[in-house]
Amino acid sequence: LIKWVNHIGVAVRSLQERVPLYRALGLEVAAGEEVPSEMVRVAFFSAGGTRIELLEPTAPDSPIAKFIAARGEGLHHICLEVDDIRATMAELAGQGFRLVSEEPKPGAHGSQVCFIHPKSAGGVLIELCQGGE
């Protein structure tokens, strides 16, 4: 069901402040956009076979703003790409994983995404994504 690690998500207070840090590491920004459904602005860096996604909150009550308020900036989620997100969601829900939404939501670049709650995944927020570019 799982194809590969599509990206690793990092919560940041400010893209303007953190993008130069990742550039200094030698990474190039591949894309950036606002994702209204998640109340974030994101920047993606190509990193070999995967990507790093920086997420900046666009509203004080967004999940990323709450995460930063509680735990500070840092690693936020791992995104696994799947062939068929609905089939994967049904399979994982059947195994007892707690999904954050019942339906896939629109993610970056036209993808469809769903999150697995960290309480049912050993403390790691896992994003599933299908398609998009």
| Beta carbon of residue 72, minimum distance to Zn ion (angstroms, whole number) | 18
Taking CB under 5 A as the criterion, the residue among 40, 68, 79, 128 binding Zn ion is: 79
Joined tokens for residue 117? 């709650």
DSSP state of 110: G
Nearest alpha-carbon partner for 1 in 88, 79, 86 = 88
Give me the DSSP letters along 44-65: EEEETTEEEEEEEESSTTSHHH
| Beta carbon of residue 115, minimum distance to Zn ion (angstroms, whole number) | 9
Is residue 126 a contact point for Zn ion (CB under 5 A)?
A: no
DSSP state of 106: E
Q: Which listed range, 10-18, 26-34, 75-83, 89-97, lies at the site for Zn ion (CB under 5 A)?
A: 75-83
| Beta carbon of residue 87, minimum distance to Zn ion (angstroms, whole number) | 20
Q: How far is CA 99 from CA 43, 56, 58, in A?
A: 25, 23, 24
All residues at 6 or more sequence positions from 77 whose CB lies less than 8 Å from its CB, including other chains: 8, 9, 115, 124, 125, 126, 127
Is residue 85 a contact point for Zn ion (CB under 5 A)?
A: no
Residue facing Zn ion at closest CB distance = 9
Q: Which listed range, 15-23, 59-67, 79-87, 117-125, lies at the site for Zn ion (CB under 5 A)?
A: 79-87
Q: Total residues contacting Zn ion (rule CB under 5 A)?
A: 4
Taking CB under 5 A as the criterion, the residue among 9, 57, 63, 104 binding Zn ion is: 9
Query: Which residues contact Zn ion by CB under 5 A?
Result: 9, 53, 79, 127
